[in-house]
Amino acid sequence: MPDESPTLDLIERLAAAPDRMTFDALQRLIGLPEVVLRGRLEQLVARGWVDADADGRSFAIGVGALRPGSAYLFGDRASRLAGPILSRLRDQIDESVRLIRLDGAAIVCLASRESSRDVLGPAVGRRYPAHAAASGRAILAHRNRAEVDAILDAGLEPHTVDTLADRRALSEALRECRTLGWAYERGEVTPGLGCVAVAVDARPLPVTDAISCTVPLPRLTDEHAEDVAACLQRAAAELAAALLV
């Protein structure tokens, strides 16, 4: 049976790439022989998983990749329940809000409601390091020590120049989150943007999700952050209660 892991690596590389990738770049990253890589690309293009330019020289993730993602979101109860809660929250604070889930050492956006002042754009499917994101810290603050240590042991690579990449500083940020009931970061994921987040604590269910709000730094005063956090706490509590019904 052929090894399918290079094909999955190929899809994941294209999904994470900010722009189209050339064949040569993909070959360097994936490490497959040219004839094998071309064959796999042809299969993925035929099924819509990958988009190729007219000359077959550059590639991007294809619309077919939406199928499994859409199926996941359709079957995910938290994502379905969060929709109207996020819409009301967005209208209340006029800032972009999102449902975020912890996935290994990363966080991924499951649902998003953009405000009229949004500068980031649609965020569903985007992944960021959990240690850098307010939502990741909000969730990690509720996880046990062994789980947190496993993520910290994997390394704390800076995502931007402002990312906390020091283990002691991150531990202090998690303690502060437990005290405040919410987490925040300023420019650690995206330069010029800050984020406030609150975990969705529906225990005895595992704490895997958070509701976050992204705000341009000029608007993210301490007072605004506290007001946003209070609204997020109410929304997270509403979603947690719905999950326990």
Give 10-residue mean pLDDT values along the chain (245 residues): 72 89 92 92 94 92 90 92 97 97 94 91 87 95 90 80 86 94 95 96 95 96 96 98 96
Instruction: Name 114's Cβ contacts closer than 8 Å, sequence gap at least 6.
Output: 90, 96, 120, 121, 122
Residue 3's pLDDT is 55
The boundaries of the domain holding residue 194 are 76-243
86 and 207, same domain (yes or no): yes
112 and 218, same domain (yes or no): yes
| Residue 38: burial class (beta carbons within 10 Å; 0-12, 13-18, 19+) | middle
CATH of the domain at 22: 1.10.10.10
Residue 217's pLDDT is 95
Residue 151, in any domain of the structure: yes
Other beta carbons within 10 angstroms of residue 4's beta carbon come to 9
43 and 91, same domain (yes or no): no
Residue 157's pLDDT is 81
Residue 1's pLDDT is 42
- How many domains does one find in the chain? 2
State pTM to two decimals. 0.84
